[in-house]
Amino acid sequence: MFGGQLPFDVVVAADANEDSPVAVDLIFVYDKKLLDELLKIPASDWFAKRDQFVKDYGDALVVQNWEWVPGQQIDRITVSYRPGARRVVLFADYVTAGDHRATADPQEPFRLVLGARDFSVEKLQ
């Protein structure tokens, strides 16, 4: 539950998001109720209601966002977080149906793999 730096790698497939840019939000969640709520919604709901979540929950979440194009090469990213982060929740705005949601431990580096129709999060060794 300490704060710190979370490094992660990003791999974007040449056909990611069916050859369309993909927006990704990484959320550090500091509140159990909010975490439970986020783990029930698909990415489409998150992106539609993101501003309201930020207004409603304030300091209980910190949102980082990016948009990448298919085949883009990305250097390792490192994001800072404060003490008390319960989980990292990731949403990707895919054109295909699905939840397009994943979670990660804020203290464990990972690899975000953006594929053609969905994404995955893999622990870094």
Residues in the chain where the model's pLDDT stays below 70: 1
Burial category of 73 from C-beta neighbours within 10 Å (exposed 0-12, middle 13-18, buried 19 and up) = exposed
Q: Is the pTM of this model over 0.75?
A: yes
pLDDT at position 1 is 57
Q: Is 116 helix (H, G, I), strand (E, B) or coil?
A: coil
In order of their start, the domains of the chain are: 4-123 (2.60.40.4150)
Look at strands 119-123 and 110-114 and give their pairing: antiparallel
DSSP run (H or E) holding 102 = strand 101-104
